[in-house]
Amino acid sequence: MSRLAMLFDASRCIGCKSCQVACKQWWGLPASETTQVGTYENPTDLEPNTWARVTFHEYEANGQFQWLFLAWGCVHCTQAACVDVCPTGALKHNALGFVSLERELCNGCGYCSQACPFKVPRMETVNLLTGEARASKCTFCQDRATNGLTPACVKTCPPGALEWGERDALLEKAHARVEWLQSRGYDQAQVYGETELGGLGRLFVLTAPPEAYGLPVNPQYSTLVASWQQVVQPLGYLAVAATTLGLAFNWLATRRARLSNIEAVEPDATEESEA
Amino acid sequence: MATSTASKPCKDRRQVLVMRFTAGERVAHWVHFIAFTILLGTGMFLYMPALRPFAVGEAGEASRLAHRAAAVLFMAAPLVYLIWSPRDFFYSLREALTWGPDDLGWLRAAWGYYTRGDTARMPPQGKYNAGQKFNALTQIITFILFVVSGLIMWFGRGVVSPAIFVGSVIVHDLSVIATVALFILHIYLVAVHPLMRESITAMFEGTVTEEFAREHHGKWLAEQEQERVYRRCRDE
Ligand code: HEM
Ligand code: SF4
């Protein structure tokens, strides 16, 4: 089966937040109390109970003011740091092409929330002292997707800015749309997510550069995370193996010396002292 | 000779016991040992993919909780030592941190000593030989690293930057690697190495035979003879 993906077309988005609400509705997530801080964004960040969010950005190009909207949530990386650091397997690559999260397997260590280059997974901390917590993030509605349905946000989106389907077909569509946008004067129009971190499961058609949307231009798998997984852990096994092996040799050498000392003591006790 | 009450001769010279570790020192050592073992076991559930079944869901939550409880014990162990045996605490600290020509001599003679039992070239050692000083030094450094990185992982998530959090996991893991290698060496020397096994009675009973003390910590024994009343016969 070829990989499924989501395409968000910013040029079609009207900033209505239906996707945000549909996500809450499908997953039964309570709304959090917010305050007005001078933006239409509400809440102002992802939360343990807010996995999808529309962000608003003011942008000026060629003397023209634009208001940009972005439907944001986990982008389902191919090289997913969260999957690699998860010690329980609660975060996994699903064969359909997204990063699933099984909350019953999560033990609350929180490594994913610190390794993700997009700061996506959020920890619901039940008790700071005992460390009881649970990770949460967008799973492309794994329950719906694995049963052949489209994610709740896609299903809802009134102007059809969100689409769900085979990744290759969506990429083709995205490039065609960008070409069309460019011919209409959006010379900064571009596709985001095609190659980032091995290719994202959430693709974007943007009308302005990624920075204007608050997206990282060249998101990286942190070298610290990579060295923890690929250098430090193997180093541990190596150190234990080397120590044990060295001591095994020492044991053999000492035992042999002891045996020959005992033999040597009887006939010629002065064997050792050369001084 | 010393003013020791036990200076009356024992029936057998090999029965003369010398006090090596006080009760406070021994309790601190075993609290540290128990805490370390629990921390190592529960930490490994997260470290080794092969142990994943223990890291999952509620089992993982329980082991993370045990890790935190043991961490409190781990941090308390040096305090037990300090409060119960302040004199020995500072004596040992000074001993472990002071390096001299005898340590160089130990390093030169160590190979022959630990493989052939060649005692001739080994200069008399203080309460701790160079190997034990190296162990103590690593324990002190990694203790600080464990506490700092562990507390960051415990209370710092979302407070410190992700780079500092991930860096703390790496520091934590490197400390694990250093201490586990030493832990294996330590267990080997006290429980397996054919020539050193007697040293473990010092941690259980507090005493070693005078013969062992003379052979392994001659300088310290001489010091003891002048300073403290620490001898008794085995059957008393
Ligand atoms: C003051 C002492 C310590 C504290 C506060 C502490 C705390 C922590 C915390 C908070 C974690 C993260 C996982 C979680 O949230 O439950 C952790 C992981 C870990 N700890 Fe400790 N710890 C301490 C000492 C030790 C010691 C002495 C060892 C081993 C000898 C150890 C071995 C580990 C290991 C192996 C991990 C897993 C790291 C990984 O995932 O790669 N810890 N510790
Ligand atoms: S965006 Fe973050 S949470 Fe989502 S797959 Fe990538 S690393 Fe994992």
Alpha carbon nearest to ligand 2 atom 8, residue: A82
* Segment A172-185, tens digit of pLDDT: 999 999 999 999 98
CA of A264 relative to ligand 1 center, distance in Å: 50
Tokens describing residue A120: 């996506």
**Residue B182 belongs to what H/E stretch?**
helix B162-187
Q: Select from B49, B64, B115 the Cβ nearest to the Cβ of A107.
A: B64
What interface predicted TM-score (ipTM) does this complex get? 0.89
Output the CA B128–ligand 1 centroid distance in Å: 29
List pocket residues of ligand 2, CB cut-off 6 Å: A 74-77, 80-82, 99, 116, 118, 120-121, 137
Contacts of B185 in chain A (CB under 8 A): 243, 247
Show which of residues 198-227 on chain A sit within 8 Å of chain B, judged by CB atoms. Answer: 222, 224-225, 227
Q: Which ligand is nearest to the CA of B74?
A: 1
Q: pTM here?
A: 0.89
Quick check: CB of B195 below 6 Å from ligand 1? no
How sure is the predictor about A255, in pLDDT bands with cuts at 50, 70 and 90?
confident
Please check whether residue A7 is in contact with residue A205, taking contact to mean a CB–CB distance below 8 angstroms: yes
Domains of chain B by residue range: 23-84
In the block, residue with structure tokens 């959006």: A186
Which ligand is located closest to the Cα atom of residue B62?
1
Q: Whose CA is nearest to atom 14 of ligand 1?
A: A109
Indicate which residue's Cα is closest to atom 5 of ligand 2: A76
Q: Which of B52, B166, B167 has the CB atom closest to A88's CB atom?
A: B52
Q: Which atom of ligand 2 is nearest to the CA of A197?
A: 6
pLDDT of residue A268: 40
Give the residue-averaged pLDDT of A102-129: 96
Q: Which residues, in sequence order, are CB contacts of A215 under 8 Å at separation 6+?
A: A70, A192, A204, A206
Domain extent listing, chain A:
4-221, 228-268
- Give the pLDDT mean for A83-111: 96
pLDDT for res A71: 98
Q: How far is CA A188 from CA A68, A208, A216, in A?
A: 13, 5, 16
Show the tokens assigned to B208.
């070693």
A254 or B173, greater pLDDT: B173
- Give the single-character DSSP code of B220: H
- A90–B115 C-beta distance less than 8 A: no
Question: Closest by alpha carbon to B195, among B122, B104, B96?
Answer: B122
Residue B6 has pLDDT above 60, yes or no: no
Q: Please indicate whether, in this complex, the C-beta atoms of B60 and A109 are within 8 angstroms of each other.
A: yes
Q: Chain B closest CA to A102's CA: distance in Å?
A: 10
User: Hey, is the C-beta of A229 within 8 angstroms of any chain B C-beta?
Assistant: no
Instruction: Kindly determine whether residue A113 and residue B46, on different chains, have CB atoms separated by under 8 Å.
Output: no
Average pLDDT rounded to a whole number, residues A261-272: 47
A241 CB burial (10 A radius; 0-12, 13-18, 19+):
exposed
Q: Give the ligand at the shortest distance from the Cα of A46.
A: 2
Q: Give tens-digit pLDDT for B166-209.
A: 999 999 999 999 999 999 999 998 888 877 777 788 898 888 88
Whether the pLDDT of residue A269 is over 50: the answer is: no
For residue A176, count other CB atoms closer than 10 A to its CB: 11
Interface probe for B, chosen from A132, A225, A250 (most Cβ of B below 10 Å), is A250
Q: What is the CATH number of domain A4-221?
A: 3.30.70.20
Phi first, then psi: give them for residue A131, nearest 5 degrees.
85, 10
Structure tokens at B135: 């162990």
Q: Render pLDDT for A182-226 as a digit per residue (tens, 0 to 9).
A: 999 899 999 999 999 999 999 999 999 999 999 999 999 999 999
Record: contact A105-B56, CB cut-off 8 A: yes
